[in-house]
Each structure stands twice: as C-alpha cells, then as structure tokens.
Structure 1
Amino acid sequence: MTSSILAIVGAGGHARVVADTALEAGWKDVAFFDDRYPEIRETGPWRVSGTVSDLYNRMSEYGGVIVAIGDNDVRLRHHLALAEQRAVMASVVHPRAWVSSRSKIGPGVTLCAGSVVNVGAVVGAACIVNTGATVDHDCELGEAVHVAPGAHLSGNVRVGPRSWIGVGATVRQGIRIGTGVMVGAGAVVVSDLPDGVVAIGCPARPRS
C-alpha cells in the first residue's frame, strides 16, 4: 500500500510553504529532512525527522519526495541525486492554483496558491512557480527555475535551467532568458538575456 506521507528535503521557510501546500492538496502528513539536524529539530509546527542521509535509508516509508530548498542549484542537485536512487519525486500543486490540462508539469515541481500555468506551457523538473505567479501560454521553464511571488511571464517565454525570476518581475512575450540568470525584483524584461547575468531595472539590463 502506498504511503500518503510526503518526505520534504529542507526545513526553511519555503519548505514550510511546500508542507502547507501538500497538506492542502491532500497528502495526509509530511516529514522533513535537513542536514542541519539535530541542531534544527523543528520547523514551524512540524518536527524534523533527520538528515538527508537518513531519508535515503527510509525512502520506502514515503509515498513521494520533494526538494523544498529555495537555492536553485542546491535544489536541483538534491533532486537529481534522489531521482538517481529511484525516489518517487512528487510534484505539489495547491488546490487554488490553476493549471491547464494541456500544460506539462515535470517531477518535483511546486505550484503555490494563486499560481497559473496556462495552455501549452512546460514546467521542468524541480521548478517553483510561487504564490500568485503566472506562466502563460507556450512558456518553457528549464530545470529548477524559480518564478517568485507575483512574477509574470507572458506567452512563449523560454527560461533556462536554474534561473530566478524575482518578486513582481514581468517578462514580455517571446523573450529568451539564459541559464543561471537572476532577474531582480520588479524588473521588466523586454529583451533577451544571456546566460549567467543579473538583470535589474525597467527595462531590465544586465548589471555591470
């Protein structure tokens, strides 16, 4: 019988959001694993069960695993390592998210309350579409992208792996954003961005 308990890697603020989202979405319970254990034994109303290594020894106890760490590089590294060990990588979708049945959601994705993923969009593994963020038609998010609260991607936007779209940022339709890019809070992206830059302002420009 498959367990209805979700294992969560991480025990910070984002992990608590993922836990709350999971419980709202129908998971019976959650269990946290963080390498700061035993220094950290609790996160909000939940206790931390052990380190990530402890999880590897107990994966059969859980119906799924999700990595809930805000840092894109760290999240992806844990996600890939767990998937290699054949962990069941769960995606967590808040019941008040709107997700088109004609979109594609990869494993290990978190879609928070008020988020929208529209028709034809592809959300890669280990992505976060945070509170009130929107990913419009035919967008494509690479692995471990984070679209922060209140950020909006217009149609046909491509975002490379491990990029971060900051709080309240706006991306014009058809834009291409490279790998490992950080778009600042409130930025307005109206032209393509190459790999690895930090872009701020309105219009957003790479910071020198």
Structure 2
Amino acid sequence: MEIDIYLFGASGHCKVIIDIIASTQDLTIKGIVDDYPNQKELCDIPVFNTNSFGTFSDKQFIVSVGNNRTRKKIVDHLSAIYPIAVHSQAIVSKRAIIGKGTVIMACAVVNSDAFIGQHCIINTAAVIEHDCKIANYVHVSPNVTLAGNIIVGEGTHLGIGATVIQGIKIGKWATIGAGSVVIRDVPDYAVVVGNPGKIIKYNVENE
C-alpha cells in the first residue's frame, strides 16, 4: 500500500530525495512545501507556499533541506509525521536502527548494529560500519567512510570523502572537511581538515 508524503524545502537536495522515493514502491510524493518558493513545480511535483498549505500535523513529511541547523529549526516548528526514505540501491542491515525523518541515498551502506538518529542524511555511497552511533541531524556526505564503533554527535557534518578510523568519538555540531582523515577524537563544534585531520577553528555555538 502506497503512503502519500510531502517534502519540505524545494532545493537541490530535494531533487535527490525525490529520486530516492521514486526508487521505492511504498511512498508517493503529493507535493513540496517551501517558505519562499520561486517555482510552481520541481521535477513535475507541485510546490506550495507554507503559509497557504494548511495543516501539517496529519500529513507525512520529509524535510528536504541539506543544512543541518536549518533542518533542525524546521523540525522544531513543524508538527508532522516523519517517515524514513531509503533508496532501493542502498544496503541497510536488518539489525541497524534508523530514526524517523532520515534519508539514505543510493549505494550507501549501513552495517550491523549501527544506529542512525532522526532527520539524518546518509548521502550517496557513504559507508556506516558496524556499531556506529549517529545522533540526530547529522549529514554524512557522499563517499564518507566511518569504520566500526564511531560516535558522531548531533548536527555534525562530515564532508565529501572524509574517512574516520574505528572507535573515534566526534562531538556535536562539528565539521569534518572534505577528504579529511580523522584519527583522533573531535570535540564539540570543532572544524577539522587535512590528513591527518587537525582542528583549525570552532563553529559558533548558535544552536
């Protein structure tokens, strides 16, 4: 039985989520909602202005916004039902736990006993190995590799192609730069770049 859902945010990231849902057999997108829509359709799906959309609480939504902080703000103010969306070409262990509102893109791998929090993005060809724990609102970019037993705190962004060795703990709202290799624990709000990864600054604590 197909489930009707809506997306919130008519962005480039939204296009990828549309493709995820198109690959499945059980979700159908009825429309896209945006605070400031600059088009009436996206990928042949109607786009509605938030103010004229009506009630949200009885509808199923995925927040299709790539920015972690913005996604969290939307969820904090949007009372809705949140399904998950997993691309048909992703590999997700039956022993993994996936939180509501999370999206998993094509060719991603989530292995045994991994825990993925709510409203996360597991992007194209990312690898989440066994026993990893990913908190809410994390974005794991394309081709990121997380070895086993890694902890990633809320809101952290791991850039394209980053690699994290086993057993590492990364704090909340941190940023791991593209291509970085993380071999040491990362504190909250830290920005890490390079191989091996080094802290170059800290994000502003403006949750």
Contact 2:7/2:29 (8 A) holds in 1: no
CA distance, structure 2, for counterparts of residue 114 and residue 128 of structure 1: 13
Contact 1:168/1:185 (8 A) holds in 2: yes
Contact 1:66/1:79 (8 A) holds in 2: no
TM-score, scaled relative to structure 1: 0.90
Equivalent residue for 1:150? 143
- Measure how far apart 1:193 and its partner are: 0.5
Structure 1 unmatched runs, 5+: none
- Measure how far apart 1:28 and its partner are: 2.8
Name the CA shift for 1:184/1:46 in 2 (closer, same or farther; >3 Å): same
Aligned-residue identity in percent: 35
Name the CA shift for 1:104/1:197 in 2 (closer, same or farther; >3 Å): same
Equivalent residue for 1:74? 70
Q: Which amino acid letter does the alignment assign opposite residue 23 of structure 1?
A: A
Moved over 3 A (4+): 53-56
CA distance, structure 1, for counterparts of residue 114 and residue 56 of structure 2: 35
The structure 2 residue matched to 1:207, chosen from 197, 200, 206, is 200
CA distance, structure 1, for counterparts of residue 17 and residue 128 of structure 2: 19
Secondary structure (helix, strand or coil) at the match of 1:96 reads: coil
- Measure how far apart 1:55 and its partner are: 4.5
Contact 2:161/2:178 (8 A) holds in 1: yes
CA RMSD of aligned residues (A): 1.6
- Measure how far apart 1:78 and its partner are: 1.6
Equivalent residue for 1:65? 61
Equivalent residue for 1:40? 39
Q: Higher strand proportion, which one?
A: 2
Contact 1:151/1:165 (8 A) holds in 2: yes
Cα deviations by residue, 1:57-86 (Å, 9 ceiling, x for unpaired): 2553x4x2110100101112222333xx3x
Structure 2 unmatched runs, 5+: 202-207
Equivalent residue for 1:23? 22
Q: Which amino acid letter does the alignment assign opposite residue 35 of structure 2?
A: D
Secondary structure (helix, strand or coil) at the match of 1:28 reads: strand
Name the CA shift for 1:154/1:48 in 2 (closer, same or farther; >3 Å): same
- Measure how far apart 1:151 and its partner are: 0.4
Contact 1:79/1:108 (8 A) holds in 2: no
Count of residue correspondences: 200
